Structure 1
Amino acid sequence: MEKTDMIYGTRAVIEAILAGKDIDKVMIQSGLTNDLVKELIAVARNNNVPILFVPPEKLKRLSTKNHQGVICILSAVSYSSVDDLIYKAYQEGREPFFLILDRITDVRNFGAIVRTAECAGMTGIIVGEKGSAPITSDAMKTSAGALNHLPICREKDMKKTIQLLHDNGIRIVACTEKTEKSLYSLTLTGPIALILGSEEDGISDAFLKEADELARIPLKGKIGSLNVSVAAGVAIYEVLRQHGN
């Protein structure tokens, strides 16, 4: 992570939030309880900025500067609204095509997925406010610049977001090994949102319950799973194939 991705110090971070900077998260040293830190926490929460309380060793690994126990990680992109993207797609006569990422934390995987999604002309990618890869200059580099072109939506309440997709006629398809139904047996036309899950344990049960369809990518070898960025490419381009693109 480059130093330009970070802001140090409690007051500086408060001012960055109030100035409307695009912020990925704020890390605060565990145990800090002074009035300025309390003000920072209130400002961050009022502006929907994620807060992580971390041990001092974590901050020291990020920077040796006098950070006062507070480091802000800047986002490399401005976040978009799911509602606005849905409206724009329908207004332009296009069927919305989203990708929902559930706890994808590896920056390289995230960047590779964004690159594929942008090449496929997807409407946007939806990530949770917490538990997602930081969108920094490293992610920008790995995406080969695709983050400059593909809208990213960061949502606090993913359940409400999925309901919004349903309400707008968008079918939710979860790509998971927890089903016997093949991806290639599904009809994947019309407005669609694909869900892909964590590199460690796949899609969470909460997301699986919200999906309209579960589908697996058939595997013929001895290894039990694909890298998540590869799985994303397979699923995205199967949707494109069925749409005749």
Structure 2
Amino acid sequence: MTKEKGQPQAYGDESYWDNRYSQDVGSFDWYQRYGGLAPLINMYMPKTNNLLMVGCGNAVISEDMVNDGYQTIMNIDISQVVIDAMIEKYKDMPQLQYQRMDVRSLGFKDGEFDSILDKGMFDSLMCGSSAPTSAASMIKEVRRVLKPGGVYMLITYGDPRVRIPHLKSEEAPWEIKLHVLPRPGSKRAHEGTSRPITEPVSLGEDLTLGPTFKLEDPDLHYVYVCIKRGGNAVKRPSGDAKVDIKLCAKSQLISNYEV
């Protein structure tokens, strides 16, 4: 789908993804493969969890998780084309289920899932039309279908300055932990890091990073571990949550199969 210069891609439209997956018949994992995320997923999501994978696409991460012992993963995507392909591909792997569904309007009951994994789904909506509205609808639905104490793990290019405002609200209070890991193939990945990826990054009381932390780093992925809880509402930070066009451009690089 062709867009005029400066307009967001139609990442929230079913037709965009149907067209894309009709052409891309192979498999592709956005941002990170399971091997890079396994320490975090294993730490926060027990293998007996009833797990939801949002925006599954044609990625193999769910297959890799089953091979690592995960027992039940429901995979959803807005594209019927890719869902049909994945149902056929994994017809002999009963641990994996696939349904065509819009993450902004989930057809699951309240508190149905222990864990929800999002590898690029939120970023996709943030690069589409009506981004703030779509993002708010998604977060509301994600929280609704999570059990109390359940975990929503968001893997994204968005640093806390542009992601926390969407996650932090009176309607959806979370306990939020942040982990940072290098993008596969990046300079940071080759150089290594002294910080284990399982060690959370310290956040301030306002859930932002300190002034010395470099933001908008294209070599980093941010992993927000959002734990559903009750209690007092979290005060919304000042200012409206807006689309970050630079992050959308970085997401487009990844969508062009840069891994």
With normalisation by structure 1, the TM-score equals 0.32
Bigger helix share: 1
With normalisation by structure 2, the TM-score equals 0.30
